[in-house]
Amino acid sequence: MKNRLEALRKARGIKQEELAEALEVSRQTIGSLENGRYNPSILLAFKLARYFGTTIEDIFIYEEDGI
Amino acid sequence: MKNRAILVSLAIAGALLAGAALWAARVFPAAPAAVLGAFGLAGGLLLLCALAELLSTRDLDPARRERDREDRDERGTMIRDKARARAGDVLLWLLLFGAGYLYFFDVPKRVNLTLLGLASVKLLLDWVFAAWYRRKF
């Protein structure tokens, strides 16, 4: 799933390690989230949205097939 | 994250179990040595494992902490679950293929039946766990 996670993180000057530590996940998970290889659970998505002070829809881009 | 209270309780329980086994061996010399030995060994192992976990410096090493987190966070758990499921499927096909392959060779029938039996147990466990998770979720 496409997302704006990397852009949001870099705009705030946060490293992947710092974000991972704050969300209690590994740096590899943050990396996989950013390049779209891994989709987060709803719980992690909420944690991300709360961390950045935004909504899940602002971070993750839901695109239906064929559209 | 360690729960120190639980670990200390386990260490004490292990020490008491091992101590009780030693005491019983002296007070009741006619008691089965194997049983007392098993209790003593279990208590000793419990004590050692609890102490090892209590004294572990794992949490102090950032690299180790990161590796543990990588294994246990949601992505790590998903990876492990998928790998285990895939390994189980591969083993199942190996058992079935092995049973079929050996059928044409001069091996005792019990070998084929054992392989088929193991494959059947695997399939049964798949069905049981799937049913359990369907009810749970």
Q: Which amino acid is at A46?
A: F
- Residue A48 within any structural domain of the chain: yes
pLDDT tens for B62-109 read 788 888 888 889 999 999 999 999 999 999 999 999 999 998 888 888
Residues spanned by the domain of A50? 2-56
B76 chain-A contacts, CB cut-off 8 A: 26, 29
- Residue A65 within any structural domain of the chain: no
A38 chain-B contacts, CB cut-off 8 A: 75
- DSSP E strands in chain A: the ranges are 2-3, 60-61
Of the pLDDT bands very low, low, confident and very high (cuts 50, 70, 90), residue A62 is confident
**B6 burial via Cβ count (<10 Å: 0-12, 13-18, 19+):** exposed
Place of tokens 């309780």: B9
- Residue A45 within any structural domain of the chain: yes
- Residue A13 within any structural domain of the chain: yes
- Residue A62 within any structural domain of the chain: no
Say what angle helices A27-34 and A16-23 make with each other, to 10 degrees.
110
Residue B58 reports pLDDT greater than 90 = no
CATH number, domain containing residue A30: 1.10.260.40
pLDDT tens for A11-25 read 999 999 999 999 999
At A64 the pLDDT is 75
- Residue A39 within any structural domain of the chain: yes
Dist CA B3 CA B123 (whole Å): 37
Interface list for B 86-115 with A (CB within 8 A): none
Radius of gyration of chain B (CA): 23
Of the pLDDT bands very low, low, confident and very high (cuts 50, 70, 90), residue A63 is confident
- For residue B114 the two structure tokens come to 């054992």
- Residue A21 within any structural domain of the chain: yes
Q: Mean pLDDT score of chain B, rounded to an integer?
A: 89
Closest approach of chain A CAs to the CA of B91, in angstroms? 27
ipTM (interface pTM): 0.84
Interface list for B 27-66 with A (CB within 8 A): 66
- For residue A48 the two structure tokens come to 């991300």
B70 chain-A contacts, CB cut-off 8 A: 26-29
Q: Which residue of B has its CA nearest to A39?
A: B75
User: Considering only CA atoms, which of A7, A1, A2 is closest in space to residue A54?
Assistant: A7
Residue B12 reports pLDDT greater than 70 = yes
What's the predicted TM-score (pTM) here? Answer: 0.67
- Residue A64 within any structural domain of the chain: no
Number of folded domains that form chain A:
1
